[in-house]
Structure 1
Amino acid sequence: MATNPGILTNWPWKPLGDFKWLLLAPWVVHSSYEMIMKEGNERDVGYFLVFPYMLLRMLHQQIWGSFSRYQTTKGKNRILDKSLDFEQVDRETNWDDQIVLNALLFYIGYMFVPETSNMPFWRADGVIITAVLHAGPVEFLYYWLHRALHHHFLYSRYHSHHHSFIITEPITSVIHPFAEHIAYFMLFAIPTYTTLITRTASIVSFTGYLAYIDFMNNLGHCNLELIPSSLFSFFPFLKYIMYTPTFHSLHHTQFRSNYSLFMPIYDYIYGTVDKSTEITYETSLKRTETSPHVVHLTHLTTPDSIYHLRLGFASLASKPQTSKWYFLLMWPFTLWSSIMTCFYGRTFVLESNTFQNLTMQSWVIPRFFVQYISKSQRETLNQLIEEAILDAESSGVKVLSLGLLNQGEELNKCGEIYIQRYPQLKVKIVDGSSLVVAIVLNSIPKQTSQVVLCGSCTKVSLAIATALCQRNIKVITTCKDNFENHQLRISRPELRKNLVHSTSDTAKIWLVGEKWKANQQMKAPKGSLFIPLTQLPLKELRKDCFYLTTPAMIAPSSFQNLHSCENWLPRRVMSAWRIAGIVHGLKGWDVNECGEVMFSVEKIWQASLELGFRPLPQKIPFIES
């Protein structure tokens, strides 16, 4: 919102939310009906194509958004290093309002402007007129309108909304108050309406002009310099008729310069070109890819998770992962992406963050949960993880943490096999088990006298069982095999007396580990508290019980560029496995934490708190002893 919102700031259909698209329904139905029922010249193809073309514009916008985020994460040719945050993502969720507005105005135009009916597919004179009028009146009028919008009166009421954040994304290009969009539409209507009344309009001139506007808008806001300097060397005059992302980025940082729409010529004429334009452009082109200090290696979860990635839909990525009904409509792309993971075998960079003096990246292995479960995929998965580790080694990465199922004991012995294969590795492998143990132990209510330990015997469950036995808390295992495994692996005999096997589940604290069936929840007493030890969330089957999230902590406020959620976790909450790698990197601990090796639980817990990570507040009930 602008600092002092003026009239017509809000969009008229704001109360409708996502249902605003229903406003187009009458025209969509009518145009489709006419396309089906009429024949030959009676069909108005242009009328029918309005809605499909609006959807195509949305796809164009999404492609730009994904491309920009991917490239800026890698760092090459990036213009600004400022941080994105959740507030900006929330402010830009209504980016499709302008699509709805354009569609409505086009449909209304078809109703009241007779010349719009049955436009030809192509007319060269109409294309030329559109280009000339854009370069002349549109660019000229936009320049002065834009300067006026930066006057205090209009800026505080309207244009400050667009400048709320210095860092820009392609989607930022269409984030304006309603009144501004009306003004812009009137400007862009000069070429289109002129071709209509001169009967030189065509489908190509209309769609081509809109495509040009969308392309240049996205280009200028992508925070990535894409125009090679060789282009201006061969054609020097281009700098007057085509702006660069750097040119417009400076407008968002300096505010009082570089006002032009897409053609900088008017800034040159009126002396408002920023003095640092050329040097900033050259500096951006010289920037190389970022070399991170810490890498978190994760993977895809469900097929729908591709839409929740930071490179997917920004609004979905900013919220915990959930299933949406409209994913059913996107099943062709979901199926295609799932099939592609069987052939694409390289990790990709998902996210880049900074914290204190550390640069961090999240890398994703293009594989889903179901592929990790399959034994036939283990060799392929280990090869992908191994290649990622070697890439990290060659890039000078100090610490690589293994997230989700990349550190399974059955898959790679919690990462130990990579150390065995490459004993000279400089990059340290961290499975995060010590911090997981610390978070779980600090999540157990203080008055607890007994707990139920579920699932198979792992290094995490063993460390938790040992720590609880030392506190004189009774640890109950309901499976005899798991009880015997824990008994054998607890080295101190005096602690084993607190580890018992029982089939009567009276304790209300349930620590849930790996290979635990969800339906076993039904055995727990009413009011029980389930605390997961694993990377995957529990399936909540009981309404009369309480569930904690997977081991995680809240990131410090100084943790930069955090604007997407990590899988199912809330905003600014990070998994223990990811945090462990960051803590190891900041503290400079030159040790591996993988295989049977576990770092000091108390040391990493205290270090995490000192660095500003905080326990996740959760509703923990009072549990009677």
Structure 2
Amino acid sequence: MLRLLSASPWEHLGSLKYLLYAPFLMIAILSDSEDKNMTWFHHILIICALRATIYTFWTSYCNMYFLNRNRRIIQEGVDFKQIDKEWHWDNLLILQSMIAYLGFYMSPMLRNLLPVWDTRGFIAIMILHMAVSEPLYYLAHKCFHGNYLFSKFHSFHHSSPIPQPFTAASATYLEQLLLTAVMGIPILGSRLIGCGSISAIYVYILSFDFLRCLGHCNVEVIPHQIFDTFPFFKYLLYTPTYHSIHHTEMGCNYCLFMPLYDALGNTLNNKSWELHRTMSLDSGKNRSVPNFVFLAHVVDITSSLHVPFMFPSVASMPYTFRFFMLPLWPVAFVVMLLMWAKSKVFLISFYNLRGKLHQTWAVPRFGFQYFLPFAKRGINKQIEDAILRADKLGVKVISLAALNKNEALNGGGMLFVNKHPDLKVRVVHGNTLTAAVTLNEINEDVQEVFLTGATSKLGRAIALYLCRRKIRVLMYTSSPDRFQKIQKEAPADCQKYLVLVTKYQAAKHCKTWIVGKWITAKEQNWAPPGTHFHQFVVPPIFTFRKDCTYGDLAAMRLPEDVQGIGSCEYTMERGVVHACHAGGAVHHLEGWTHHEVGALDVDRIDIVWEAALKHGFRPVSNRNNISPKQIQL
């Protein structure tokens, strides 16, 4: 019995639960347009869609850290565990749709047509809500905090550490039935006294959801001036701060929407209004300065939708193209144009590492824009503004992602360091750790590698490192001068291991390819069967060869004590970040005071690798998991 009251009957269906909407949809599509009774099913579908939109939009706003970071009540982020726990938040919508569907057939009263508008219905619903639903919910909620009911049913709702709109709908089956009754009483009551209307049903249900989301949004949006001017209002409408106290301290603030009943029941937390006032006053201040910032960028239009403020559940999984997001492509394209015209760097995520706040800021530029000559100046201006802003805030380290440190764009960050020699914030490209991760993936018995992008920052460092280990490096480049310059940097007895090649045919017998420049299917065909493609190219190459294996972009798994991370970094798995991101974090954790810009210092590859391992970062690849300096003949 407890099991039946704890879990929804369709829990075992997984995503197939949405087939329960099929009867509504089929009746709505196939029904006679003149059969007015069938409009009830149309209304069920429309209300469900609108309710889901309210929950989704509220959750999106809560995850827009660039808008509300100074208004957040609990500073921690929503992690993967909470996202998974609240994955089926919409079970509440399905349950109430099914009840409405059954009620239509079981009650002749509901089959009678309702008028579109009746002013008396709005008044009746408001009175019934305040006089019946509010005290009923208050008493029931208080009972659910008793030892038995709390442990069996209500603890699931409170197990989410950070309240968010999806938390409001995440509850056990028994609680959802109670909430359905609380919502249904005003609607049925107005119908019984003969003043119900379609518009009143819509307004009440959508307002109910709106206020539920408001209380669980973890962002204080109600200014304290309203309560200062109209003191009694604070007993008529709760605030996000008010409800967050219920989740952090419990034993108080049980109300649905009206703190009046907490005041009457002597369960009102005394610091509710003072804390709300403090949160409202502090909304214009930078209350939390990050120790480390990773300056990311968007890869393409579809991947721009892979952010927490769009769909948290989608962002919690590695990025891949999903057809259901295709209708949003035009919207994303328009937003791209607006961002291109004029926009600022924005905060998209944050997490805590050993109690230190780490944030991800994003330059609102798309991958292809970095390769447009006329866009170079504007992009560098946005990156420079981000660095100066971080410096002003007191950030210790800012790490540049992929294209933000492109050699042709700004010399791997050298442009900013040279232009602003007095920077206190350390600018880091993180490529030293990227090189270390790439080298770690190479098998111990490798004697020859084929390297594309050989004269780039990373290619140069990888080539010099491997030649010191007496590994032959076929350096693919169209610039003999740049090759010779790199070759001269190698020790005299190692220079012979660096070999200039200008055609892919030269690698037809080499089974270890390190790809730092994008290669097509035709170029990949020169690799012999069994080749493994290591890569540090963005975006990653396509996997054309079925008889070869492909490595992921250089990445590291975050330490186990990281808190508040709930989104995947592009195509990376949960808890995995690009190596350059990890490199910036290591730079900060080690307290290094130098900038890591421009050319890589080959001598520091082992130092950075060992520092990363010391702080709990782990390589993602399981090929060897050895230190780069162990690679030898």
| Bin of the TM-score, shorter chain as denominator length | over 0.9
Q: Secondary structure at the match of 2:427?
A: strand
1:445-498 per-position Cα deviation (integer Å, ceiling 9, x unaligned):
112211111235101111110010000011123x35266633322323332201
User: What SS is found at the alignment partner of 2:493?
Assistant: helix
1:490-526 Cα shifts (integer Å, max 9, x gaps):
3233322011246142222111102433542222222
Range moving further from structure 2, 610-619 or 129-138: 610-619
Shift of 1:295: 1.4
SS at match of 2:593: coil
Percent identity for Structure 1 against Structure 2: 33
* Corresponding position: 1:615 with 2:614: no
Letter in 1 for 2:71: N
Correspondence for 1:342: 340
**Aligned amino acid, residue 62 of structure 1:** T
Asked whether 1:48 is paired with 2:45, we answer no
Superposed CA deviations along residues 18-71 of structure 1, whole A, max 9, x for unmatched, are 23222222222322444xx535x9486554233123212222111111211224
CA contact (8 A) 1:119 1:201 kept: yes
Conserved 8 A contact 1:354-1:559: yes
Alignment of 1:257-276 (within 5 A): 257-276=252-271
Question: Which of residues 406, 416, 419 is equivalent to 1:418?
Answer: 416
For 1:121-160, what aligned pairs fall within 5 Å after superposition?
Answer: 121-160=116-155
SS of 1:346's partner is: coil
Tell me whether 1:217 sits opposite 2:212 in the alignment. yes
Change in Cα spacing, 1:267 to 1:43, as seen in structure 2 (3 Å) is closer
What's the counterpart of residue 534 of structure 1?
537
Gapped runs of 5+ residues in structure 2? 626-630
1:101 corresponds to 2:95: yes
> Which residue identity does 2:121 align to in structure 1?
G
Q: Which moved more, 1:605-614 or 1:460-469?
A: 605-614
**What is the letter of the counterpart of residue 107 of structure 1?**
Y
Quickly say closer, same or farther: Cα 1:277–1:72, change in 2 above 3 A: farther
Q: Does 1:249 align with 2:244?
A: yes
Alignment equivalent of 1:545, drawn from 540, 544, 548: 548
Determine if contact 2:71/2:219 at 8 Å carries over to the other structure.
yes
CA distance in 1 between counterparts of 2:68 and 2:606 reads 35
State the partner residue of 1:487: 484
Q: Secondary structure at the match of 2:514?
A: strand
Q: Report Cα offsets for 1:419-445 as digits up to 9, x if no partner.
A: 233333332221111111111112211
**Residue 147 of structure 1, CA deviation:** 1.4
More divergent stretch after superposition (353-362 vs 561-570) = 353-362
User: Which amino acid is 1:542 matched to?
Assistant: R
Asked if 2 retains the 8 angstrom alpha-carbon contact of 1:92 and 1:172, the reply is yes
Cα distance in 2 between the residues matched to 1:13 and 1:461: 54
> Residue 75 of structure 1 aligns to which amino acid in structure 2?
R
Structure-2 separation of matches of 1:210 and 1:86? 30
User: Which amino acid letter does the alignment assign opposite residue 106 of structure 1?
Assistant: A
CA contact (8 A) 2:470 2:632 kept: no
- Structure 1 regions of 5+ residues with no counterpart? none
Aligned-partner residue type, residue 497 of structure 1: K
C-alpha separation in 2, matches of 1:428 and 1:73: 26
Aligned match for 2:115, one of 110, 116, 120 = 120
* 1:385 paired to 2:383: yes
Say which SS state the counterpart of residue 302 (structure 2) adopts: helix
Does the CA contact (< 8 Å) of 1:535 and 1:551 recur in 2? no
Given the two structures, how large is their TM-score scaled by the length of structure 2? 0.92
Three-state SS of the structure 1 residue aligned to 2:5 is coil
**Structure 1 position 231 matched with structure 2 position 226:** yes
1:468 is matched with 466
Which residue of structure 2 lines up, in the alignment, with residue 572 of structure 1?
575
Question: TM-score, normalising length from structure 1?
Answer: 0.93
2:283 is aligned with 1:285:
no
Number of corresponding residues? 618
Question: What letter matches 1:157 in structure 2?
Answer: K
Tell me how far apart the structure 1 counterparts of residues 327 and 137 of structure 2 sit (CA, whole Å). Answer: 39
Structure 1 residues 92, 225: CA separation in 2 closer, same or farther (over 3 Å shift)? Answer: same
* 8 Å contact from structure 2 (residues 565, 575) kept in 1: yes
Q: Which residue of 1 aligns with 2:86?
A: 92
Residue 628 of structure 2 is matched in structure 1 by none
Among 134, 138, 157, the residue aligned to 1:162 = 157
> Is the 8 Å Cα contact of residues 65 and 349 (structure 2) preserved in structure 1?
no
Distance 1:266 1:17, change over 3 A: same
Is structure 2 residue 59 aligned with structure 1 residue 59?
A: no
Structure 2 vs 1, CA of residues 504 and 583 (structure 1 numbering), >3 Å: closer, same or farther?
A: closer
**Distance change (3 Å), C-alpha of 1:480 and 1:340:** closer
**Could you tell me which residue of structure 1 aligns to residue 20 of structure 2?**
23
Distance 1:74 1:225, change over 3 A: closer
- The answer (yes or no) to whether the contact 2:519–2:541 under 8 Å persists in 1 is no
What is the CA–CA distance in structure 1 between the aligned matches of 2:30 and 2:378, rounded to whole Å? 51
Q: Is the 8 A contact 1:306 1:312 kept in 2?
A: no
Quote the residue 2:194 is aligned against: 199
1:181 Cα deviation (Å)? 0.8
Which is further off, 56-65 or 581-590? 581-590
Contact 1:195 1:201 in 2 (8 A): yes
Which deviates more from structure 2 when the two are superposed, residues 68-77 or residues 130-139? Answer: 68-77
> What SS does the corresponding residue of 1:342 show, helix, strand or coil?
helix
